[in-house]
Structure 1
Amino acid sequence: MSGRLEELAAEFGMVERALGDPAALADSREYARLTRRHRELLPLVTLLREQEGLAADLRGARELLADPDMRELAEGEVQSIESRLDEISGELEVLLLPTDPDDSKNAILELRAGAGGAEAGLFVMDLLRMYTRYADSAGLKVNVLDANESDLGGASKVVAEITGEFAYRAFKWERGVHRVQRVPATESQGRIHTSTVTVAVLPEVEPGEFHLDLGEVRFDVFRSQGAGGQGVNTTDSAVRAVYRPGTPDEIIVVCQDGRSQIKNKEKAIQVLTTRLAEKERAEREAKERSDRAAQVGTGDRSEKIRTYNYPQNRVTDHRLEGEHKNHPLDSVIEGNLGGVVAALARDEKERQLIAMSTETGGTQHGAA
């Protein structure tokens, strides 16, 4: 592990020097790449520096053990430093695990009403509010690009862009089927209904990552309907992008958020490119049948990942076990998703550690 840590520390130094180079500042894409890599490496380098300082402190504390007057104090300090060094070792081991290269990207969030009719549409808007509050607490921004709203206050579909540092990492755990169990406001006999909403979270494609042939896209312009509860736009600025219209590959993207037709067209192209890139990646990873494909890349929405049980004020994440599985619904629905996300992240790291130790053990056994 020490060799890999030295390599990453050296890379951090090179990245810092490159960020100070005027040539990097002149190249926006390169500067963005360097800045992103600097953020990724900073937690690891911070721990390494703390480890180095504590190692020096430990040497000094151990020297004091020979002094009878200082021995008791030194023993306590040695124990405290050694305990923290053990923690740092574990934290560094986790930071060395493979990371998702898409974590630092912006994200496209899609919510679609499933089973349950009008109640499912209402839950779409409940989830949108929950995600907006969660994003606010994480320093991220939610921008609704398109929404098919109903007269009852729900929506059959919402498409939004999440922007900010590590937006995709904050939201990627949300993809899948969300089930809600509650008594609808329109239910006169107090019966509990079960409805579902599918959530897709796609890492936004960055410039140069994926080529979209605009010759395969038809653009339609129409009057905005005021997506996301915003004021109705009275100009024909909404844009519909149709990829390969009339074919089995057809994909339709609508953007009616901006007041500018040009801005809406640019955003529609961005969302369409992201969907196509995700589709290509999903197909590639499905063929590989890797664990990462199952956990991250396939966009499979058939699995129920979470249940929101209103009568019992409980949210159950079905990917977790034990005490981390259940959370108070009234808190989660207000956007306090941090505890759930942290538990899911820990679970993935633990699985990676187990897989890594298994692979290492198998390699050593084979070598023996």
Structure 2
Amino acid sequence: AIEATKELISDPDPELRDMAKEELHDAKELASQLTHQLQILLLPKDPNDNRNIYIEVRAGTGGAEAAIFSGNLARMYQRYAELQGWKIETISQTLGEHGGYKEIVMRIQGQDVYAHLKFESGTHRVQRVPETESQGRVHTSACTVAIMPEAEEIDAIDINTSDLRIDTFRASGAGGQHINKTDSAIRITHLPSGVVVECQDERSQHKNRARAMSLLQTRLLSAKQEKLNAEQAASRKDQVGSGDRSERIRTYNFPQGRLTDHRINLTLYKLEEIIQGELGQVIQPLINEHQATQLTQLAED
């Protein structure tokens, strides 16, 4: 079609020539879009993209304000999950003294959950006037987010039961009238690595134990994967996909209503929308940037 249109450009009829130029421009644009889509389809797929995830939000520097902010982030992810039609459940939580969470672990199930949320791992910084601040000064606090693809039977790490310490305790937090009456919550410590997991969501100790073991498998696998990702990211200079939770990835500036993602220099003055769960406008540019990095790497190879 492009070649036939090129011939019409030299037609003596000026009207026909103008039409041909317009058609040629549209055809070239379509060809470019199709080429790009084809390149994206040829990119190597992340085997974890269609997996469910565990998401951990943990308060960092900033005391009570950091815990309140971790509550904001947890609700942002919950609302985003609801908008996507995903199922979300709380596995464990430690409440902050003035609201929010010192730490919360949630499980999200749905289509391509990891593909959408895998770039959320890292340190999230907040700048705002805390509710507890009487002088009206802006404070800076931080939380860390870890996104862990749920371990499946195929990748099960062999865990020796003698390497585990299993404790039972009474669950705390939301859960209705039954939750504190029995020691149904489970805490498992993996002694060689020091990894500790808890589950207090179910009233059944047996169910909590099974969930805690699943989370332990996921954490151990995730630690192994994080090390591999960091090595790969360093070798390919990928700013988006390292998944290092100590890396400062994003700032939420409430006085200015501004969100900045430092990895791709993305700034949006839509903080209120985003914190209410409209996270797609941040996630899609990150996916695009990661794909662009992959395409460049593919071309170099």
Query: 8 Å contact 1:103–1:169 — kept in the other structure?
Result: yes
Following TM superposition, by how much is the alpha carbon of 1:199 offset from its aligned partner in structure 2, in angstroms?
0.7
What is the percent sequence identity of the aligned residues?
Answer: 40
Query: 8 Å contact 1:115–1:196 — kept in the other structure?
Result: yes
Query: 8 Å contact 1:202–1:278 — kept in the other structure?
Result: yes
Q: Provide the rounded CA distance (Å) in 2 between the counterparts of 1:292 and 1:146.
A: 35
> What secondary structure sits across from 1:311 in the alignment?
coil
Q: Provide the rounded CA distance (Å) in 1 between the counterparts of 2:80 and 2:155.
A: 29
Q: Provide the rounded CA distance (Å) in 2 between the counterparts of 1:273 and 1:293.
A: 27
What is aligned with 2:220? Answer: 276
Query: 8 Å contact 2:88–2:107 — kept in the other structure?
Result: yes
What is aligned with 2:262? Answer: 318
User: What is the letter of the counterpart of residue 129 of structure 2?
Assistant: V
User: What is the letter of the counterpart of residue 161 of structure 1?
Assistant: R
User: What is the letter of the counterpart of residue 132 of structure 1?
Assistant: Q
What is aligned with 1:350? Answer: 292
Choose from 130, 143, 165 the match for 1:197. Answer: 143
* Residue 230 (structure 1) aligned with residue 230 (structure 2): no
* Aligned positions of 1:31-180 closer than 5 A: 75=20, 80=26, 83-180=29-126
Give the ranges of 4+ consecutive aligned residues of structure 1 lying more than 4 Å apart after TM superposition. 71-82, 284-289, 292-295
| 1:257-285: CA deviation from partner (whole Å, max 9, x where unpaired) | 11222221111011100111122233445
What is aligned with 2:188? Answer: 241
Query: CA 1:131/1:284 → structure 2, altered by over 3 Å: closer, same or farther?
Result: closer
Q: Provide the rounded CA distance (Å) in 2 between the counterparts of 1:294 and 1:339.
A: 18
Following TM superposition, by how much is the alpha carbon of 1:99 offset from its aligned partner in structure 2, in angstroms?
2.6
> What secondary structure sits across from 2:154 in the alignment?
coil
RMSD between aligned alpha carbons? 2.8
Following TM superposition, by how much is the alpha carbon of 1:313 offset from its aligned partner in structure 2, in angstroms?
0.6
Give the aligned length: 291
Higher share in strand: 2
What is aligned with 1:336? Answer: 278
User: What is the letter of the counterpart of residue 240 of structure 1?
Assistant: R
Query: CA 1:237/1:214 → structure 2, altered by over 3 Å: closer, same or farther?
Result: farther
> What secondary structure sits across from 2:102 in the alignment?
strand
* Residue 255 (structure 1) aligned with residue 202 (structure 2): no
Higher share in helix: 1
Q: Provide the rounded CA distance (Å) in 2 between the counterparts of 1:160 and 1:189.
A: 35
Query: 8 Å contact 1:282–1:293 — kept in the other structure?
Result: no
> What secondary structure sits across from 1:205 in the alignment?
coil
User: What is the letter of the counterpart of residue 185 of structure 2?
Assistant: A
* TM-score after normalising by structure 2: 0.86
What is aligned with 1:207? Answer: 153
* Structure 1 residues without counterparts, runs of 5 or longer: 1-57, 360-368
Of structures 1 and 2, the one with the larger relative CO (CA 8 A, separation 6+) is 2
Following TM superposition, by how much is the alpha carbon of 1:303 offset from its aligned partner in structure 2, in angstroms?
1.6
Query: 8 Å contact 2:119–2:240 — kept in the other structure?
Result: no
> What secondary structure sits across from 2:264 in the alignment?
coil
* Structure 2 residues without counterparts, runs of 5 or longer: none
Q: Provide the rounded CA distance (Å) in 2 between the counterparts of 1:72 and 1:131.
A: 54
Query: CA 1:182/1:284 → structure 2, altered by over 3 Å: closer, same or farther?
Result: closer
Q: Provide the rounded CA distance (Å) in 1 between the counterparts of 2:298 and 2:231.
A: 23
Q: Provide the rounded CA distance (Å) in 2 between the counterparts of 1:293 and 1:328.
A: 26
User: What is the letter of the counterpart of residue 257 of structure 1?
Assistant: D
Query: CA 1:95/1:194 → structure 2, altered by over 3 Å: closer, same or farther?
Result: same
Query: CA 1:292/1:104 → structure 2, altered by over 3 Å: closer, same or farther?
Result: farther
What is aligned with 1:7? Answer: none
Q: Provide the rounded CA distance (Å) in 1 between the counterparts of 2:69 and 2:206.
A: 32
Query: CA 1:180/1:294 → structure 2, altered by over 3 Å: closer, same or farther?
Result: closer
User: What is the letter of the counterpart of residue 314 of structure 1?
Assistant: R
Q: Provide the rounded CA distance (Å) in 2 between the counterparts of 1:142 and 1:292.
A: 33
Following TM superposition, by how much is the alpha carbon of 1:290 offset from its aligned partner in structure 2, in angstroms?
3.4
| 1:109-138: CA deviation from partner (whole Å, max 9, x where unpaired) | 111111100000000100011111111112
Query: 8 Å contact 2:239–2:263 — kept in the other structure?
Result: no
Query: 8 Å contact 2:241–2:290 — kept in the other structure?
Result: no
